[in-house]
Structure 1
Amino acid sequence: MGDAELAARLLDPLPQPTPGASATRARLAWHHGDVDGAVAGLQEAVRRGSGTRGERALLGRLSAEQDLLGDFTPHLDPVPGYRPRGRTMLCAVTNSLPHTASGYAQRTHSYLAALRVRGWDIHAVTRPGYPVQVGRILARHTDTVDGIPYHRILPARLAPTATGRAQQHAEALLRLALTTRPAVLHTTSHYVNALAVRAVAEALGIPWVYEVRGLLADTWAATRGPAALASSRYQRFQRREARALTAADRAVTLGAAMAQRLAELTAEHCPDTPTPRVGLAPNGVGEDYLRAAPTRDRARATLGLDPEHFLIGTVTSVVDYEGLDDLLRAAALLRPSVPALRVRIVGDGVARPGLEHLARELGIADIVTFTGRVDRSDAPLHTAALNAFVIPRKDRTVTRAVTPLKPVEAMAAGTTVVASDLPALRESVRHDTTGLLTPPEDPAALAATVLRLVTHPDDAARLARAGRQWARAHRTWDAVARDADARYCELVRDAPMTAHDVEESPA
């Protein structure tokens, strides 16, 4: 919702039976993570007879969300005699190319395309209702991108509740699996995808892999403050994630920091279950990205940028935890000693208006450019134009655990990387080897780190070369797919070739 504090102040003087007030109170409680309080308030309004039609509908939706955060599981009957096809995988994802060009969608495609090169027959399928729900009204039931078919689940009527959609999701996945006949299933976070995929895997008797790219509850809590960590919504969401991890035949994640976070999560929420085996499937770059990154001079000529400027910046989602306010404050400190300094922030997001105001307040608006969102295919161009690619992330639970793709892409483009000294970023940015690390939320330290690159250009060039070599050696999609291929082959080899054999009737 919008301004939660303002909503709370406006609600305070209203009598409980005021029409519509219970719905607003429920949304406010849900916003703060009070799942049971939100539902109970609506139930009381309905019991009193003061609940509006809209409040009764909201009660149905939130009650289903409450069940989904609880013990709800889709039900599918076992499929007798199912015979999978070798080296065939069905991957269930939230969204995909060509309708969504996010980092999530691009990672999915690069990962699957690299597996296809290794001889896997790949099918992907998106969540129910996508992409119609994001405005692609005339979407086809299958889009094929670079040989990867992305199947769509587009029912005539999408179930109105979260639990209904989860059941609908599982049933549609099973129908598709009986056509494509996968030997292994793969899905990505969050746990709602895992619920559907687990149900299908158990119905068919085949293994499934759960890939955790991030913990959505941590991202949610990062926008609400420390109190959110104790909320029922946060705790139940994390418990469901832990259960999905322990139920999967194999779990994978982006880096060692997240793997440690997942081990802690399962120990807290599933203490009686063995710690799951979590493999690594890090972010990578493809040969297309490596070929697309031009030299700095060529990139600047293409973008119309002054070759004499010392350009620092980033290509990112413009949200608070990225720490771009610290980048602007560092730039303000640097400006007197670095007249050629310019800042370039490529991307868009909810934090942009506040950052534009901060730039004016600091007196550096004339040297800061906010480009807005650009096509992902142009990201290598914008990255290569920078003298320093800066990742000034705040110190938050989500930023300590989630390993982003951006430092790897910047290294592959041959740009020196400066990043906050956080566990997830240390996995790719090795201080004074593949880049430079600086204390998070410390603009003065960030300014000093950037100044080092300004005054020691040979050092900056050394770091850029080393970063590019490391990315090429360790973070290509071919290397990631090689490990994934071995993981799937191990799972398929250990699984029975025929699941749920038909029982013979007694003579």
Structure 2
Amino acid sequence: MTQLLRNAGLAARTASEHLTDDPLLLCLQILRRLPARLVRPPALFVSRVAPKNSSVTAVLLACIAAGDKAGLERRLAAAVEHGLAGQQARRAADVALAADLPQWADKLLDTVVPGTARLAATVARRRWYGGAMSEAVAVLDGQTGPLARQHARLAAELSVFTGAATVKPPAPTLPVPEPPAPTRSGRQLPARTQTQTPTAAPAARESRRVLHLLTNSLPHTASGYAQRTHSILSAQQAAGWDVRAVTRLGYPVQVGKILARETDVVDGVPYQRLLPARLASGMDARLAQQSAELLRIGRAFRPNVLHTTTHFVNGLVAREVAAALDIPWVYEVRGQLADSWAARRGPEARESERYRLFQEREVDVMRSADLVVTLGETMKRGIMAAGVPEQRIMICPNAVGGDFLKEPGSPQAARRALGLPETGQYIGTVSSLVAYEGLDDLVAAFALLAPHLPDLRLLMVGDGVESAALQKQVRSLGLTGRVIFTGRVAREQTPLYHQALDIFVVPRKNLEVTRTVTPLKPVEALASGRPVVASDLPALREIVHDGVNGRLCPAEDPGALAEALGTLLAQDAVRLELGVRGRDKVLRTRTWSANAALYDDAYQDFSLGRAS
């Protein structure tokens, strides 16, 4: 009961902050977390029956929830044309920002009379959206009440991005530790500044303990990030390591899981939550609070190594706690979150203050880690270009384990087990339904194939912010009966969904983030013996080899994608051979147990060096 009361307090505080900072975005987040079957039908009804030029906030939000982007833009255009002003125009601008339509927000803000209540809040959100962080803070200078609280929050986050914030955990003074010994490979660990910092008693030579700091995890988040993490932890545990995982401060309550417990155990792996009675105000203070909480856990657990992942705020905390415990730390670069942020905003975002500061903090964290782990050669080259020596970088690629190691069954058997129609051919994906995945191009390619292949179906497994828009695209093309949207599925069913396909498709857009980051799902598809058709991008070329285990085709070209798919669909023997080759290569080179051995060697270098 005590934990539930704490969770309720955290949830109320989070909701209150969102109401101050961006109430319309809070409404959208709530709508997106509710079951689609409850939200989309009424949203579709409202977007269809409301007047075509209605700019009522509820109607605009319904357009977003229904995936009716064209209807939303039509209504925003009408609002500008008819001279919408005052609070209505300001709120419509907020909706436009929430829908990633900043150009309409700008036009609407031009119609708002200076001095309109809370205008500064929306203008600040517009600056912040575009990455002009300092300008956003300046807009709110001297404000009072809720706008002063918004100013304080943005200023605190800016201080973290500029590197001015201090996240060091408070600690008592203890004797200065001895300088680190060389590792068994002869490499000297990077020296730390010898200050009067607290240390944990050194773990025994034979101990093998690793403490992971995570952004999110199973069972509350089922993303590729969470799946990779769990696979790593499970493999490390099987290899004899004592594993403990700690998620970020306030998670998962802050994402709506109000019944969360202090610890979840998934497949024997413990995930500890940091759910204090009260969160500090501002990102800088919360990172310091998180550091103190993680240090408390670290002193009790006494790990040999502290291991964290992107993005840089995790690295800031891990760096300070590792220094306090006098142990090495690992920074695992799984993606380029600055590029993910910019991908939603257009090429100009890469010239923004936020993007520059984001990159600077990432480089700072990577350079200060004892070891940087990443997913592939493309990402490794980027890390080296940032100034990290090659000998301090290790590749641990996305991999497979568990049921993906078992011999895959036929597509018909998998469909039967899932309750899907067994006959015909299936193309599709298992993915987060987000814009950079390019799934609108997959729907367009399917529309080109559908008239010629009447038994072909498209299977879309997963959920995300683009789900409503994709379903609307399918309806507009008259393909509703031939496209299956499953929504989010249980983790245990994922291998079956891969096996239900004849071809797995990765139609990613051509963006910086997709050119560099190698995804997990196509590796799982190859392990399932299914050929992969993917966009011809550097990161995907590390997984998909044209004519060997699949096909590559130009990104953002539905016609070329349809041609590649159609050719493979007509060649049963070729598909089978590509699938066999793909599975064989994955089982030889990409398993979680093999990755665990790589981590083991790196950790042993660290821990034996410190214990000797």
TM-score with structure 2 length normalisation? 0.76
Assess, with a 3 A threshold, how the Cα gap between structure 1 residues 488 and 27 changes in structure 2: closer, same or farther.
same
Within the candidate set 206, 224, 232, 1:111 is matched to 232
- 2:139 aligned with 1:41, yes or no? yes
Amino acid at match of 1:70: T
1:73 aligns with 2:166: yes
Counterpart check, 1:345 vs 2:460:
yes
2:267 matched to 1:146? Answer: yes
Q: Does 1:181 align with 2:302?
A: yes
Q: Which of 571, 576, 600 is the equivalent residue of 1:461?
A: 576
- Written as runs of structure 1 = structure 2, the 5 A alignment for 1:18-417 is 18-43=116-141, 46=142, 51-71=143-163, 72-76=165-169, 77=171, 78-80=197-199, 82-85=201-204, 86-264=207-385, 266-267=386-387, 277-291=392-406, 293-417=408-532
Kindly indicate whether the alpha-carbon contact (under 8 Å) linking 1:245 and 1:276 is maintained by their aligned counterparts in 2.
no
Are the counterparts in 2 of residues 20 and 52 from structure 1 also a CA contact under 8 Å? Answer: no
1:485 to 588, 600, 604: 600
1:172/1:81 Cα in 2 relative to 1: closer, same or farther (>3 Å)?
A: closer
Q: CA deviation at 1:167?
A: 0.1
Amino acid at match of 1:82: A
In structure 2, how many angstroms separate the alpha carbons of the residues matched to 1:481 and 1:89? Answer: 12
CA distance in 2 between counterparts of 1:491 and 1:241 reads: 23
CA drift at 1:351: 1.7
Secondary structure of the equivalent of 1:495? helix
1:505 alignment partner in structure 2: none
**3-state SS in 2 of match to 1:251:** strand
Structure 2 letter corresponding to 1:186: H
Is residue 251–residue 276 contact of structure 1 (8 Å, CA) maintained in 2? Answer: no
| 8 Å contact from structure 1 (residues 292, 380) kept in 2 | no
The alpha carbon displacement at 1:401 in A equals 0.8
Aligned residue in 2 for 1:5:
103
2:223·2:432 contact (CA, 8 Å) conserved in 1?
no
Deviation at 1:69, TM superposition (A): 0.2
Alpha-carbon displacement from aligned partner over 1:76-120 (angstroms, at most 9, x marks no partner): 451156313431111100112222222211211110111111111
Q: In structure 1, how many angstroms separate the alpha carbons of the residues matched to 2:606 and 2:572?
A: 49
Higher deviation after alignment, 283-292 or 389-398: 283-292
Q: In the alignment, which of 551, 565, 572 is matched to residue 436 of structure 1?
A: 551
**Cα 1:276/1:2, change in 2 over 3 Å:** farther
Q: Deviations over 1:202-228 (max 9, x none)?
A: 112210000011111111100000000
CA 1:224/1:277 → structure 2, altered by over 3 Å: closer, same or farther? same
1:292 shift after superposition: 8.7
Q: For 2:114 and 2:258, how far apart are their aligned partners in 1?
A: 41
Question: In 1, Cα distance between the equivalents of 2:487 and 2:258?
Answer: 26
Instruction: Judge conservation of contact 2:403–2:495 (CA < 8 Å) in 1.
Output: no
1:84 is matched by which residue type in structure 2?
Answer: A
Deviations 1:364-398 (A, max 9, x none): 33322222222222111111111111111111101
CA contact (8 A) 1:284 1:408 kept: yes
Contact 1:318 1:350 in 2 (8 A): yes
* 1:275 Cα deviation from its structure 2 partner: 6.5
Which runs of no fewer than 5 residues in structure 2 stay unpaired? 1-96, 172-196
| Cα separation, 1, equivalents of 2:583 and 2:478 | 35
- Measure, in 2, the Cα distance between the counterparts of 1:379 and 1:306: 17
CA distance in 1 between counterparts of 2:407 and 2:318 reads 36
Q: Give the partner amino acid of 1:83.
A: P
CA 1:329–1:135 in structure 2 vs 1: closer, same or farther (change >3 Å)?
A: closer
| Offset, 1:435 | 1.6
Q: Give the equivalent residue in structure 1 for 2:115.
A: 17
Q: CA deviation at 1:35?
A: 0.3
Q: Distance in 2 between matches of 1:357 and 1:101?
A: 25
Q: Is the Cα–Cα contact under 8 Å of residues 127 and 133 in structure 2 kept in the other structure?
A: yes
How far off its partner does 1:274 sit?
Answer: 5.4
SS at match of 2:394: strand
Structure 1 contact 294–380 (Cα < 8 Å) conserved = no
One-letter code aligned to 1:75: K
Worse overlay, 219-228 or 420-429: 420-429
Deviation string 1:406-427 (CA, Å, 9 cap, x unpaired) is: 1111111122211111111111
The one-letter code sitting in structure 2 at the alignment partner of 1:222 is A
Q: Give the secondary structure class of the aligned counterpart of 1:176.
A: helix
Partners in 2 of 1:249 and 1:373 — Cα distance? 37
The answer as to whether partners of 1:297 and 1:307 remain within 8 angstroms in 2 is yes
Q: Displacement of 1:15 after TM fit?
A: 4.1
Amino acid at match of 2:122: T
Q: What displacement does 1:338 show?
A: 2.1
Distance in 1 between residues matched to 2:574 and 2:391, nearest whole Å: 42
Question: Secondary structure at the residue paired with 1:343?
Answer: strand
The offset of 1:288, in angstroms, is 2.9
Q: Name the CA distance, whole Å, in 2 between partners of 1:74 and 1:276.
A: 28
**Structure 2 SS opposite 1:252:** strand
Question: Alpha carbons of 1:331 and 1:42: their partners in 2 closer, same or farther (altered >3 Å)?
Answer: same
| CA distance in 2 between partners of 1:328 and 1:81 (Å) | 55
Which letter maps to 1:40?
A
Q: TM-score, normalised by structure 1?
A: 0.91
How many Å separate the matches in 2 of 1:274 and 1:467? Answer: 32
> The residue matched to 1:369 in structure 2 has which SS?
strand
User: For the Cα contact (< 8 Å) 1:292–1:381, is it kept in 2?
Assistant: no
What secondary structure sits across from 2:515 in the alignment? helix
List per-residue Cα deviations over 1:432-468 (Å, max 9, x = no partner): 1122211111112111211221221101000011111
| Structure 1: gaps of 5 or more residues | 268-272, 498-507
> In the TM superposition, what whole-angstrom CA distance separates every residue of 1:173-192 from its partner, at most 9, and x where no partner exists?
11111100011110011111
Kept in 2: contact 1:246–1:275 (CA 8 A): no
Q: Aligned Cα RMSD in Å?
A: 1.8
Q: Percent identity?
A: 48
TM superposition shift of 1:8: 2.5
Q: Distance in 1 between matches of 2:291 and 2:391?
A: 24
